Structure 1
Amino acid sequence: MNSHSQKSKVGGSILDLMDELVTVGQTMGYNMAGLGNKAKRRWIKELCQKHRINFASIQETKAESISLLTIKDLWGNQMFDHVVGSSVGCSGGILCMWNPNMFVKEKVSTCDYFAALMGTWAPPSSKLLIISVYAPQELNERRDLWDYLHTIIDRWEGDTVIMGDFNEVRSEHERFGSTFNRQGAIAFNNFISSACLIDLPLEGYAFTWAHKSASKMSKLDRYLIS
């Protein structure tokens, strides 16, 4: 195991922090056509207010830029910090927003497929790397992404949370109605194992993406934690 995964935790574990983290992604049966969709913006705002969350990660914004006024409306008040990962044309896009009294940002790295935030979560003053992912469609590009994320995690001295749409499944039973790519699953599972990550079980639907006809379904969204 890597040294960062062996460190003793003081004042709480990464699992304690999960209660404070909420990811907003594609939800089965709900129209999620980017932040240009008023229903989606309203749904995100309701989630933020209902759960009084301290960190939100939104994938597939389909926006090259997002105004501060829009982010303020989504968050519900002026007490927020944020990072925007621009979309590639009409595809992808990431928005992370959070309470700066809970997460103090130190460094940010973004690209077409992820936004990585390095900082401190208080309390319990834990060094925390938060990565929001919207993975590419092509297998070779996903493999490159897993390698790059592994490098970031390996260099980080603290806890790690990776959340979002990984565009990949871990086993055949996580797909219905579409072709299972064994090589893609092997590469994804090797990444999770080599980076010493845990696939956190989620409640709710067994599949996180579904075709409108419900003829195809996959589990593409998940939390991975150190």
Structure 2
Amino acid sequence: MNWASLNMKGAGGPGKASLVRNLIKDNNVGFISLQETQMSNMPDSKIRGFWNNSAMEYVKVDAAGRSGGLLSIWNPSLFKKNMEIVDQNFILVKGELMGENTELVVVNIYAPSSGTERRQVWDKLLDLRDSTLGMWLIIGDFNEVRVPEDRWNSNFDGNNAQHFNNFISTAGLLEYPMSGRKFTFMSGDGKIEQDR
């Protein structure tokens, strides 16, 4: 099963729904995590617009004003949800990967811009990691980097990076290489802007 994650910078812009649908189709994605929808009370019809005509399930978190907002959508024939935990900064969905008899915990995260608030999110996730069994997959926008080389066009904060690296180590997480560009975001008109 393929997974995708995209920071939308607002779900309401023209072309964004078709871009997400094409991403799902072109990469045979069974579970997508969207960050920064910047929408509250997003109707089912809007959410359906991000998916194709096949069956889908989802969990969402409303934006706080024009900040944040999360949406996780998946194919229920590939992933069967057993539980969910919703927080302003993450969606945790636990379920079974169909045909694999594998319990999987998928966390869609949009971390706060404040380093102190990010550390609180890392602590919450560590507590959940200790109490929620299964293989974990954490994807999204961490608003943090691990090493100076990952920070582009902004200042590197070694203290926040150390807390982030400690979170990754304590949680027993592994970083996997991703396809595509290192730094990518979606502009307001639904076009992909690639920084590197």
Relative to the length of structure 1, the TM-score reads 0.78
**Moved segments of 4+, more than 4 Å:** none
Q: Which residue of 1 aligns with 2:83?
A: 107
In structure 1, C-alpha distance between the alignment counterparts of 2:151 and 2:184, rounded to whole Å? 10
Does residue 81 in structure 1 map to residue 81 in structure 2? no
- Equivalent residue letter for 1:37: G
- Equivalent residue letter for 2:41: S
Q: What is the CA distance between 1:102 and its match in structure 2?
A: 1.1
In structure 1, C-alpha distance between the alignment counterparts of 2:89 and 2:63, rounded to whole Å? 9
Q: What is the CA distance between 1:197 and its match in structure 2?
A: 0.2
User: Is the CA contact 2:6–2:185 (under 8 Å) kept in the aligned structure 1?
Assistant: no
Secondary structure, aligned partner of 1:74: coil
Does residue 179 in structure 1 map to residue 155 in structure 2? yes
Secondary structure, aligned partner of 1:48: helix
2:119 pairs, out of 143, 146, 149, with 143
Q: Which residue of 2 aligns with 1:56?
A: 32
2:140 pairs, out of 156, 164, 174, with 164
Q: What is the CA distance between 1:57 and its match in structure 2?
A: 0.8
Q: Which residue of 2 aligns with 1:128?
A: 104
- Equivalent residue letter for 1:47: L
Q: What is the CA distance between 1:210 and its match in structure 2?
A: 10
In structure 2, C-alpha distance between the alignment counterparts of 1:50 and 1:204, rounded to whole Å? 13
Secondary structure, aligned partner of 2:118: helix
- Equivalent residue letter for 2:16: K
In structure 1, C-alpha distance between the alignment counterparts of 2:52 and 2:33, rounded to whole Å? 15
Q: Which residue of 2 aligns with 1:6?
A: none
Q: What is the CA distance between 1:38 and its match in structure 2?
A: 1.6
In structure 2, relative to structure 1, the CA distance for the partners of 1:163 and 1:62 (3 Å cut) is: same
Q: What is the CA distance between 1:51 and its match in structure 2?
A: 2.7
In structure 2, C-alpha distance between the alignment counterparts of 1:94 and 1:175, rounded to whole Å? 24
Does residue 204 in structure 1 map to residue 180 in structure 2? yes
Q: What is the CA distance between 1:203 and its match in structure 2?
A: 2.7
- Equivalent residue letter for 1:89: G
Secondary structure, aligned partner of 2:100: coil
Unaligned runs of 5+ in 2: 188-194
2:93 pairs, out of 89, 110, 117, with 117
Q: Which residue of 1 aligns with 2:5?
A: 23
Deviations 1:96-148, CA, capped at 9 Å, x for gaps: 11111111111111111000001111120210000000000111100000000
Deviations 1:23-59, CA, capped at 9 Å, x for gaps: 223xxxxxx4311112222200111223332111111
Percentage identity across paired residues of the two chains: 33
Paired residues in the alignment total 189
Secondary structure, aligned partner of 1:84: strand
Relative to the length of structure 2, the TM-score reads 0.90
Unaligned runs of 5+ in 1: 1-18, 26-31, 212-216, 219-226
In structure 2, C-alpha distance between the alignment counterparts of 1:72 and 1:130, rounded to whole Å? 20
User: Is the CA contact 2:9–2:186 (under 8 Å) kept in the aligned structure 1?
Assistant: no
User: Is the CA contact 1:58–1:96 (under 8 Å) kept in the aligned structure 2?
Assistant: yes
User: Is the CA contact 1:65–1:84 (under 8 Å) kept in the aligned structure 2?
Assistant: no
In structure 1, C-alpha distance between the alignment counterparts of 2:3 and 2:9, rounded to whole Å? 23
In structure 2, C-alpha distance between the alignment counterparts of 1:97 and 1:203, rounded to whole Å? 20
